[in-house]
Chains A and B, each alone.
Chain A
Amino acid sequence: MVTETTEEAAARLVESLLKGNRRAAGRVISAIEDGGDAVEMLMRALYPHTGRASIVGITGPPGAGKSTVVDELIRVMRADGRAVAVLAVDPNSPFSGGAVLGDRVRMMRHATDPEVFIRSMGARGHLGGLALASHNALLALDAMGFSDLLAETVGVGQSELEVAGTADTTVVVVPPGLGDGVQAIKAGIMEIADIFVVNKADHPQADRVVADIRDVLRMDLKRPEWTPPIVKTVATAGEGLEDLWIRIRQHRRYLEESGELERRRRARLEQEIVEIAERRLREQVLRPRTATPEFRAMLTDVVERRMNPYEAAEQIVPKTAAAG
């Protein structure tokens, strides 16, 4: 909503955020969501203050009761003295692009807790994509001093999965009674889970789902050092959440002790640097070179088979002798 057009304004905003000013934090995240030049300025100012928070991604199909799980998890974490920030991502309407973001309704009781920050984000409409916007928003909350960040998404889109995947610990919430069982859950969700939560565990089919998940895990040979535990919860009754928090902490210990945390963060930061560089390349090199009449003429040549795409690309980005 607010576009800071000067570096000074961005710096001031960040300074305010670092002092704990929530208004500033809200505005920073909006600027991040809106994309544009402001983002880089903000992120440059924020970055030195990040890296302390632990990120938990919480995802799963609709109807799993994720918001209730998150609400209860906040309670447990707060009781443990943590300062928690939540990013709740909701899908947009495919028709209008608008969205009703209703997740915070479930977390209402934490609304005036000064050590809790809840921010809703629509899944679409972010210049640069959802994963980038949410990643940067989480960094802003990290810089603000929250010890734990929860990123809640509905695991239906690729980008939502990406958001969950960038977390240190990914929790997948599964409801019982899915019909085709766990196979019905979107491919990709199962692979990213560090912890499974079977919510609504008082449902008669809950144990069935637990068994199904165990079967799938048996077939997964990728991560022998950490077998995702399966936690049963009845979030509406507040049951099982202490157990979930214990598992999350266990996972964190495993990440630290095995060096996996370091590896993942390094890999993510490397990826981030590369993505930033790619974006620059696209904006500063590719876009200008493909917006010319010459390029369009070349395109016609390719369409009419007078030139092949590789030759055309060569014109834009010549193979350098150093490369290869």
Chain B
Amino acid sequence: MSEPRLRILMAKAGLDGHDRGVKVVARALRDAGMEVIYTGLHQTPEQVVRAAVDEDVDAIGLSILSGAHMTIFPRILELLREQEAEDIILFGGGTIPEDDLQELKRMGVAELFTPGAYTQEIVEWVRENVGEKAAGGSAAPS
């Protein structure tokens, strides 16, 4: 197996306990041959980014269903910047209104999936947008 495996961190941040979606997506990514690391529930942005960095994942898939997305997504982007890990792609899902969605994407969230999105859609997006990056390679941090 010389094809670089994709490592994705599936994260649940905030105090909401809905993990049905994140677990379904985790399994779908696994079935697509990826390595998925699940953070568990109730993570703080600090815990999510620490896990992403130590595990050196290619992307973070963040699920937020508590409405606190405008607080948590930007905080994670900030922490990734601080830890020189901006090349880790942040995507996610939740009940996110259109305005907020556009704002988050402007801030640097790569993609957001709303209710009803098929897992296949998400898997394909990851393959195309996260794999691409990996194939390109990148420089070492200084």
* B interface, over-half SS: loop
Cross-interface CB contact of B140 among A9, A25, A102, A112, cutoff 8 Å: A9
Cβ–Cβ < 8 Å partners of A26 in chain B: 53-56
Cross-interface CB contact of A101 among B2, B36, B84, B139, cutoff 8 Å: B36
**Is A95 located at the chain interface by the 8 A CB criterion?**
yes
Cβ–Cβ < 8 Å partners of B44 in chain A: 112
Cross-interface CB contact of A27 among B38, B51, B56, cutoff 8 Å: B56
Q: Which residue on A lies nearest to B48, using beta carbons?
A: A111
Q: Is the CB of A118 within 8 A of B54?
A: yes
Q: Is the CB of B30 within 8 A of A98?
A: yes
Nearest Cβ distance between residue A151 and chain B, in whole angstroms?
Answer: 16
Q: Is the CB of A125 within 8 A of B30?
A: no
Cβ–Cβ < 8 Å partners of A12 in chain B: 140, 142
Q: Is the CB of B51 within 8 A of A104?
A: yes
Binary flags per residue of B20-51, CB closer than 8 Å to A gives 1, else 0: 00000011011111111111100110110011
Q: Which residue on B lies nearest to A10, using beta carbons?
A: B140
Q: Interface residues of B, CB < 8 Å — how many? A: 40
Q: Which residue on B lies nearest to A101, using beta carbons?
A: B37
Q: Is the CB of B54 within 8 A of A24?
A: no
Q: Interface residues of A, CB < 8 Å — how many? A: 47
Q: Is the CB of A125 within 8 A of B1?
A: yes
Q: Which residue on B lies nearest to A108, using beta carbons?
A: B40
Cβ–Cβ < 8 Å partners of B53 in chain A: 22-23, 26
Q: Is the CB of A95 within 8 A of B37?
A: no
Q: Is the CB of A100 within 8 A of B38?
A: yes
Tell me whether A23 and B1 are in contact in the complex, defined as CB-CB below 8 angstroms, given that A93-B31, A108-B39 are known contacts: no
Taken together as a complex, chains A and B put the C-alpha atoms of A30 and B38 apart, in Å, by 17
**Is B115 located at the chain interface by the 8 A CB criterion?**
no
Q: Is the CB of B47 within 8 A of A23?
A: no
Q: Is the CB of A105 within 8 A of B34?
A: no
Binary flags per residue of A104-131, CB closer than 8 Å to B gives 1, else 0: 1110100110000111101011110000
Taken together as a complex, chains A and B put the C-alpha atoms of A105 and B39 apart, in Å, by 5
Taken together as a complex, chains A and B put the C-alpha atoms of A99 and B1 apart, in Å, by 14
Cβ–Cβ < 8 Å partners of B139 in chain A: 9
Q: Is the CB of A104 within 8 A of B37?
A: yes
**Interface residues of A, Cβ cutoff 8 Å to B:** 1-5, 9, 12-13, 16, 21-27, 29-30, 33-36, 92-93, 95-102, 104-106, 108, 111-112, 117-120, 122, 124-127
**Interface residues of B, Cβ cutoff 8 Å to A:** 1-2, 4-5, 7, 26-27, 29-40, 43-44, 46-47, 50-51, 53-56, 58, 83-85, 134, 137-142
Given A13-B140, A98-B33, A101-B36, 6 other A-B contacts at CB below 8 A?
A: A25-B54, A100-B37, A105-B38, A111-B50, A118-B54, A126-B1
- 9 interchain residue pairs of minimum CB distance: A26-B56, A105-B40, A98-B30, A111-B47, A125-B1, A30-B56, A98-B33, A13-B140, A100-B36
